[in-house]
Amino acid sequence: MTLAASSCKTKHPGANQADLAVCYALGQVGKPYLWGGTGPDEYDCSGLVQAAYQYAGVSLPRTSQVQCHSGTAIASVSDALPGDLIFPYADESHVTMYLGGNQLVEAPRTGVPIQVVNVYGSAGGIRRVTAQGGTGATVNSADMGGSSTSSVAGSSTGGLLNSVSTVGKALTSSSDWTSFAYIVGGCVLLLLVVLSLVSGPGRALAKQVTG
């Protein structure tokens, strides 16, 4: 158990079971995937989910194909709450934990560490395994353990991606594209002038100056 996970109950004394499970799972981010792994150093997908809910006081079956029958069914991702289990594939061969904001935490596959990514499917269904879904109170970068290239709400990576998205959206207006075109055109013209000086008169002038 990482420091982030072991301190979840201390940092979030009022958190419900789903929020505690989310906190635990985020505390494992960056740890390696191992098929059959149940922690505390390596996990597979269902091992991560089982360990997270065990920490929160909820007993779950060991494999994703059985976990998919636990709790109650949720109709769609739009109805999901933090801590809900999302099964991306129809054969229930993989399980992830929803964080809110269209993001999830998962132990994906061999060679890829536990990570936070966007929801990419729910063909196998969505299950809520506690009476009360999570509130999202524990979904923050301070609860993340290890290192990850993925983003979570409040992280610097998320902020950078949001900034890039904002710039992209800003350039969709015609006036912004016009300004952008003027800037690019000016840079191209300057480059042509420099190349002309280096390849022709500029070279001759350099010879005169250096004697």
Tokens of 127: 């299950």
Pairing of strands 96-100, 103-106: antiparallel
Task: Just list the catalytic residues.
Answer: 45, 94, 106
- In the prediction, which pLDDT does 52 show? 98
Write down the pLDDT at residue 167.
37
For the chain, report the end-to-end CA distance as a whole number of angstroms.
Answer: 73
Helix (H, G, I), strand (E, B) or coil at 29: coil
Helices of type H across 38-173: 45-55, 64-67, 156-170
- Compute the CA torsion angle 135, 141, 147, 149 (nearest 10 deg): 90
User: CB of 105 within 8 A of CB of 97?
Assistant: yes
Report, as an integer, the average pLDDT of 19-27: 97
Contact 74, 127 (CB under 8 A): yes
- Does 128 score more than 70 pLDDT? yes
Q: Given a cut of 60, is residue 183 above it in pLDDT?
A: yes
Q: What is the pLDDT of residues 39-93, one digit of tens each?
A: 999 999 999 999 999 999 999 999 999 999 999 999 999 999 999 999 999 999 9
Centroid of chain to Cα 160: 13
pLDDT at 181 over 70: no
Q: Are 44 and 34 in contact (CB under 8 A)?
A: yes
- The answer to pTM > 0.85 is no
Instruction: At 61, list the tokens.
Output: 């079956």
Backbone angles phi, psi at 33, to 5 degrees: -80, 140
Query: What's the mean pLDDT in 177-199?
Result: 65
Give long-range contacts, CB 8 A cutoff, 24+ apart: 149-156. 149/115, 150/29, 150/115, 150/116, 150/117, 151/103, 151/116, 152/26, 152/99, 152/103, 152/116, 153/99, 153/100, 153/101, 153/103
Q: Which residues contact 196 (CB under 8 A, 6 or more apart)?
A: 202
Q: Who contacts 37 (Cβ-Cβ below 8 Å, separation ≥6)?
A: 43, 44, 47, 107
